[in-house]
Amino acid sequence: MRRVVLCVLLVLTMAPAIAAMAANRPVAIRIVLEDRARLEELSRLVSIDDVRDGVVTAGASPIALERLAKAGFEWEVLPEAEAPELATMCPAGWENDPNRSWECYPTYAQYVGFLNRYATDYPALCRLVDLGATTNQVRPHRLW
């Protein structure tokens, strides 16, 4: 009985924190800029993802949206992206197909075959160099 009560209390104390985190999620927005000079000001307010032909796509938290309104920007909230489809592996022979599609994930062997083919077909442009195994014992995130 004590465990049940303890679990219920734990869930009740965590619920407001989870709801607050969900309400504070960033949203994707689109802003049309008439003046490119305002782009620098905008970059200080939101996280810019893309800029094309005066249309800015960005991610903004609720606090950032308040700051945007105070700065005089107008935006539209974009619909949430749908869940991506499951990853599909490339079919056998993908690396040799001249009409290959990049809508799949090649295996390591397929990717090496793809690079070998480029090195063979375009020797003046590229060559494949094998650097061998690494001797670096430092985890990659320590490099930067």
Instruction: Assess if residue 1 is contained within a domain.
Output: no
Instruction: Assess if residue 113 is contained within a domain.
Output: yes
Owner of token pair 């749908």? 82
Count of domains in the chain? Answer: 2
Instruction: Assess if residue 18 is contained within a domain.
Output: no
Instruction: Assess if residue 7 is contained within a domain.
Output: no
**Beta carbons of 62 and 71 less than 8 angstroms apart:** no
Question: Which one has a higher pLDDT value, 13 or 35?
Answer: 35
55: CATH? 3.30.70.790
Question: Which one has a higher pLDDT value, 74 or 1?
Answer: 74
Give the pLDDT of residue 86. 59
The range of the structural domain enclosing residue 128 comes to 94-133
Residues 75 and 115 in one domain: no
List all residues 6 or more positions away from 45 whose beta carbon is below 8 Å from its beta carbon.
Answer: 60, 64, 67, 68, 71, 73
Instruction: Assess if residue 17 is contained within a domain.
Output: no
Angle at 56 between CA 52 and CA 57, to 5 degrees: 110
Instruction: Assess if residue 39 is contained within a domain.
Output: yes
Q: How confident is the model at residue 144 (pLDDT cuts 50, 70, 90)?
A: low
Which helix (H) or strand (E) segment is 67 a member of? Answer: helix 62-71
pTM value is 0.45
Give the pLDDT of residue 123. 92
Residues 75 and 113 in one domain: no
* Alpha-carbon separation of residue 33 from 3, 55, 105 (angstroms): 57, 6, 37
Give the pLDDT of residue 101. 83
